Amino acid sequence: MNGLFITATDTGVGKTRVGAAIALWLRRQGLQPGIMKPAETGVADPAQPGEDAQLLAWSAQCGAAPELYAPWRLRQPLAPATAAAHEGRRLHFDELLHCAGRLAQQHDFLLVEGAGGVMVPLCHDHLMLDLPRRLQLPTLLVIRPGLGTINHTLLSLRALNEAGVAVAGWVINRMPAAPGTAEAVVIDTLSQWTPLPCLGVLPEVSGNPYDQITQLTQRIDRDAELAPLRRLLYRLGTGA
């Protein structure tokens, strides 16, 4: 399967914006990326894809059926397994593998975005990190700058490594224009403790979600410090 799994150190890190920007960048390179939001919680109307899935689909111009790219939509803003239990539903992991397989057949590249962090319960018998492990997708970890991120990042990387998930690297998202000491030392500190590369730093951006995605895509396309991320996406997207 040709693609990338995107996860984060926690909820609210901005991985949907990053994933959508990557999808838009790939499309602008002439590829036909597919997207998948396997489980989205806090969805007001589960009859429709949630906001995250809609943003990803907009960026990729994904024409696949919502039942494939956003199969699990749950009302409660909880871990997917917990939200499903509240609704009296039992989620089946093999359903996600089936959806991902069909999407991969229809697109050049499949971008799969998790929910929350890597240890979030996905269903009654699987954690979120089990999905990239079974799909055999390299994983991009999105982290926040600031106090606490060193611990969260190293724990996430260790969990992925112990599960046998290939990690392509990590990116920092929402770096403020005037970083404080805690933000400024993140790259150097993490680089001392993990051999996995920092693929770039994305800034804090403003505007509505679509404006934010467009701004991040422009950053991916032109910022010198994001060249490692561009090289990764080009290699994964073209098979080079």
How far apart CA 146 and CA 33 sit, in angstroms, is 32
Number of H helices, E strands in the chain: 11, 10
Helix (H) or strand (E) holding 234: helix 227-238
37 has catalytic annotation: yes
Q: Is the dihedral of CA 183, 187, 188, 194 positive or negative?
A: positive
Helices 227-238 & 15-28, crossing angle to 10 degrees?
Answer: 60
Q: Is the dihedral of CA 114, 115, 119, 121 positive or negative?
A: negative
How far apart CA 33 and CA 201 sit, in angstroms, is 23
Which tokens go with 218?
A: 């422009």
How far apart CA 148 and CA 158 sit, in angstroms, is 16
Which tokens go with 200?
A: 């770039």
Among residues 37, 73, 126, 230, the one annotated as catalytic is 37
Give pairs for 218-223: CB < 8 Å, separation 24+.
Answer: 219/21, 220/21, 220/22, 220/25, 221/25, 221/28
Annotated active-site positions, please?
37
